[in-house]
Amino acid sequence: MPTKLQRLSTKFLKWRYKNISNKTFTHIMSVLVGLLAGLASVTLKNIVYFIEVSLEQGILISSNSLYFILPIIGLTLVYLYVKYIHKEQLQHAVSSILFSLSKKKGIIKSKHIYTQLIAAPLTIGFGGSTGLLGPAVASGAAISSNIGRFFHINAKTRSLLIACASAGAIASIFQSPIAAIVFAVEVFSLDFTMLSMLPLLLASISGVLTSYFFLGNEVLFNFTLSENFEVKDTFFYIILGIGTAFASIYFTRMYFGIQKLFSRLKTPKYKLLVGGVSIGIMLYFIPPLYGEGFSFINDLLHGNHIKALGKTPFDSYTTNIWVVIALLFGITIFKAVAMTTTLAAGGAGGIFIPTMVMGSALGNVMAKVINNSGIGFSVSESNFTLIGMAGLIAGVLHAPLTAIFLIAEITGGYELFVPLMITASISYLITRNAIDYTIYTKELARSGSLLTHNKDQSVLTLMKLDDVIETNFKTVYPDMTLGEMLHKSVAKSTRNIFPVVDKNKALVGIVLLDDIREFMFDTSLYENTKVETFMHNAPEHIFYEKDSMQVVMKKFQHSGAWNLPVIKKGQYAGFVSKSKLLTAYRRELINFTG
């Protein structure tokens, strides 16, 4: 018997279908998910701030020695939460969202709403070198997915609302609504049409308003641009673009290299211990690696590199600018290491903000080198710090437009638009040619689960092999006589192809009706001729566990076959016909573009 809440929900849905159009309801939902995603972002920021302030006031700042133990405590708390409460391995936030969009029709479990609100603050608050943007986006996406399911919203609109939630989360964290919209389009591969633009805009505005309501005018980067772009600096911005491109390649390869290294550790406890100690050692020598790193960026923007570096074992040498440059370059190198180690050891967090930290350090290093090398040029260190961030975002995330608009909005104007475009585009082009996929997308692309702006590829990704497998074929056996095959299979089948299987149901060949047509009425062959006489290999096989729909389509194209057998766990599972495959493709294309 339905509960009172279910009855009210049913009554509301009936009223909604009668009185509110789908388009209007989508706009209302985009405002709602933008507000809730913004609220999740604000909550994350406040929890992390509370943990960090509590540690600073209680036990931390007097000595760097506690950096050794704090990451282990944080990772242990996350491990206990995951093992006994969450009971699932933590997934990379944005990658898991992209997978749900491509393979789960935008359905995300409700527990992912609060998991990131717990795991990420424990990781970052205790020194884990990751960012809050990914967890904020993941929490907002889970909220929007479950709201969509509650209101029986279709899969396509549910996916749009998930993108709206990501825009709301980003707009709330950075107070940059335009960059939030561009991020949703670039990373989630949305088509930027009027259908998607207005909901994204509404969600982004809602996220910003949520941030203003709870945090007032407080911003992450309290910085006002004082030095405009000068044409004479163009060459150096080109060099910065090249430098950030190589740094992006390093960042990405370091990420996958460390992940692979940690995968050799058999148990989560070993990963936790090795990761925690490694992070502690890095934090002892390079304190700015602690947590997200926003204060580090702000200090660099205001020209206070001593404060940015914090208390280090090298304090007595920081009067030498080249020692400062070396330490800042060390942050450029080790931020990627610290971030990946945190995630590989079982921590939670995102890669977006660590990317910004690494870019800010690299940009500042380059400016200091130019200003102190005696070549007769002087550049703005704060401008290079900002544009270095844009270069890393463009390269690591393959999101140049997000990088440009985010930094432009942070600075409160577009005076740096030209150098932003120069550096971001160069970084993106070089990195894109060196690395096909980002940290977000590499594993998804490998498994055929990645949505892109290529409509053909996206439609194939959304299709499921289960929907096109046909099983109404009569199987035969190699030792079956021709007579048995004709009476038991051919006479009772509406198909012109017969899979030949052994006693373990493994496919050993196929027989076409054309193969036996000239022998069908020769009764003298019925008892003495076996099926194995007529069978031959299929032109191609489809392997259920590993072949994506893109691979299936290519196998039809290359083989020229009309039907191909499907092998599942080593056994025959049915056939896929070209006609059914193309019909399903057309249906999915209409749904995708409609």
How many percent of the chain have pLDDT more than 90? 25
Single out the residue of 293, 294, 317, 291 nearest to residue 306, CA to CA.
317
One DSSP character per residue, 347-411 reads: ---BSHHHHHHHHHHHHHHHHHHHHHTTSS----HHHHHHHHHHHHHHHHHS-HHHHHHHHHHHT
Domain positions in the chain are 4-215, 231-446, 457-593
SS3 percent helix, strand, coil of the chain, rounded to 5, is 65, 5, 25
Distance in angstroms (rounded) separating the CA atoms of residues 572 and 507? 5
Q: Which of 310-319, 338-347, 413-422 has the lowest mean pLDDT?
A: 310-319
Average pLDDT value over all residues in the chain: 85
User: 507-537, pLDDT tens digit by residue?
Assistant: 988 888 888 888 888 788 888 888 888 888 8
Higher local confidence (pLDDT), 127 or 339: 339
Question: Do 495 and 472 form a contact (C-beta atoms < 8 A)?
Answer: yes
Q: Which of 49-58, 74-83, 184-193, 545-554 has the lowest mean pLDDT?
A: 184-193
Q: Where are the beta strands (DSSP E) in 235-351?
A: none
Distance in angstroms (rounded) separating the CA atoms of residues 366 and 389? 12
Distance in angstroms (rounded) separating the CA atoms of residues 158 and 460? 19
Confidence of residue 310 (pLDDT cuts 50, 70, 90): confident
Residue 360: pLDDT above 90? yes
Residues 109-139 as b or e (16 or more Cβ within 10 Å = b): eeebbbbbbbbbbbbbbbbbbbbbbbbbbbb
Residue 194: pLDDT above 70? no
User: Rounded mean pLDDT of 261-272?
Assistant: 87
Q: What pLDDT, on the 0 to 100 scale, is given for residue 341?
A: 93
User: Which residues are registered as beta bridge partners of 476?
Assistant: 500
Distance in angstroms (rounded) separating the CA atoms of residues 222 and 304? 14
231-446 shares the fold of 4-215? yes
Residue 239: pLDDT above 90? yes
Residue 525: phi and psi, rounded to 5, are -95, -10
Distance in angstroms (rounded) separating the CA atoms of residues 160 and 141? 10
Q: Which of 103-107, 134-138, 538-542 has the lowest mean pLDDT?
A: 103-107
Residue 271: pLDDT above 70? yes
Confidence of residue 185 (pLDDT cuts 50, 70, 90): confident
Single out the residue of 284, 450, 258, 264 nearest to residue 347, CA to CA.
258
Question: Do 177 and 205 form a contact (C-beta atoms < 8 A)?
Answer: yes
Q: Which amino acid is at 176?
A: S
Q: What pLDDT, on the 0 to 100 scale, is given for residue 457?
A: 66
Q: What pLDDT, on the 0 to 100 scale, is given for residue 452?
A: 58
Coil/strand/helix, residue 574? strand
Q: What pLDDT, on the 0 to 100 scale, is given for residue 427?
A: 96
Q: What pLDDT, on the 0 to 100 scale, is given for residue 39?
A: 92
User: Rounded mean pLDDT of 15-22?
Assistant: 81
Q: What pLDDT, on the 0 to 100 scale, is given for residue 240?
A: 95
User: Rounded mean pLDDT of 540-544?
Assistant: 90
Residue 530: phi and psi, rounded to 5, are -95, 160
Higher local confidence (pLDDT), 486 or 242: 242
Distance in angstroms (rounded) separating the CA atoms of residues 249 and 238? 17
Distance in angstroms (rounded) separating the CA atoms of residues 110 and 324? 47
Q: State both tokens at 473.
A: 């074929």
Q: Which numeric CATH code is attached to 457-593?
A: 3.10.580.10
Q: Which of 176-185, 233-242, 358-367, 581-590 has the lowest mean pLDDT?
A: 581-590
CA-based end-to-end distance of the chain: 38
Pairing type for strands 469-470 and 497-501 reads unpaired
Q: What pLDDT, on the 0 to 100 scale, is given for residue 455?
A: 60
Q: State both tokens at 163.
A: 């993108």
Residue 592: pLDDT above 80? no
Distance in angstroms (rounded) separating the CA atoms of residues 36 and 166? 11
Q: What pLDDT, on the 0 to 100 scale, is given for residue 245?
A: 96
Q: What pLDDT, on the 0 to 100 scale, is given for residue 18?
A: 80
Q: Where are the beta strands (DSSP E) in 154-268?
A: none
Q: What pLDDT, on the 0 to 100 scale, is given for residue 94?
A: 80
Query: Left if phi > 0, otherwise alpha if psi is -120 to 50, otherwise beta: which for 569?
Result: left
User: 455-466, pLDDT tens digit by residue?
Assistant: 666 666 667 888
Question: What number of CA atoms fall less than 13 Å from residue 159's CA on the CB side?
Answer: 22
Q: What pLDDT, on the 0 to 100 scale, is given for residue 591?
A: 66
Q: Which residue has the tokens 């009668």?
A: 18
Single out the residue of 196, 201, 190 nearest to residue 167, CA to CA.
201
Distance in angstroms (rounded) separating the CA atoms of residues 114 and 93? 13
Distance in angstroms (rounded) separating the CA atoms of residues 578 and 552? 10
Residue 203: phi and psi, rounded to 5, are -65, -40
Residue 355: pLDDT above 60? yes
Q: Which of 70-74, 264-268, 456-460 has the lowest mean pLDDT?
A: 456-460
How many percent of the chain have pLDDT more than 70? 90
Residue 217: pLDDT above 80? no
Q: State both tokens at 69.
A: 């133990």
CATH tag for 231-446 (out of 1.10.3080.10, 3.30.70.100, 3.10.20.30, 1.10.1840.10): 1.10.3080.10
Task: List Cβ neighbours of 190 (8 Å cut-off, separation of 6 or more).
Answer: 160, 163, 184, 196, 200
Question: Do 419 and 227 form a contact (C-beta atoms < 8 A)?
Answer: no
Supply the pTM of this predicted model. Answer: 0.79
Question: Do 338 and 349 form a contact (C-beta atoms < 8 A)?
Answer: no
Residue 445: pLDDT above 70? no
User: Alpha helix (H) ranges present in 264-372?
Assistant: 268-285, 294-301, 305-309, 321-344, 352-372
Single out the residue of 569, 570, 579, 576 nearest to residue 551, CA to CA.
576
Distance in angstroms (rounded) separating the CA atoms of residues 575 and 149? 33
Question: Do 339 and 130 form a contact (C-beta atoms < 8 A)?
Answer: yes
Higher local confidence (pLDDT), 188 or 209: 209
CA 25 to chain centre: 28
Distance in angstroms (rounded) separating the CA atoms of residues 194 and 462? 23
Q: Which of 47-56, 223-232, 268-277, 300-309 has the lowest mean pLDDT?
A: 223-232
The domain made up of 4-215 is a member of CATH 1.10.560.10: no
Q: What totals of helices (H) and strands (E) does the chain contain, helices first?
A: 24, 6
Task: DSSP letter for 491, please.
Answer: T
User: Rounded mean pLDDT of 437-443?
Assistant: 80
User: 562-583, pLDDT tens digit by residue?
Assistant: 889 999 988 999 898 888 888 8
Coil/strand/helix, residue 515? helix
User: Which residues are registered as beta bridge partners of 512?
Assistant: 497
Residue 228: pLDDT above 70? yes
Distance in angstroms (rounded) separating the CA atoms of residues 435 and 216? 41
Question: Do 415 and 409 form a contact (C-beta atoms < 8 A)?
Answer: no
Question: Which whole-number Å values give the CA distances from 192 to 183, 184, 186, 492, 592, in the listed order?
Answer: 11, 10, 9, 52, 14
User: Rounded mean pLDDT of 421-445?
Assistant: 88
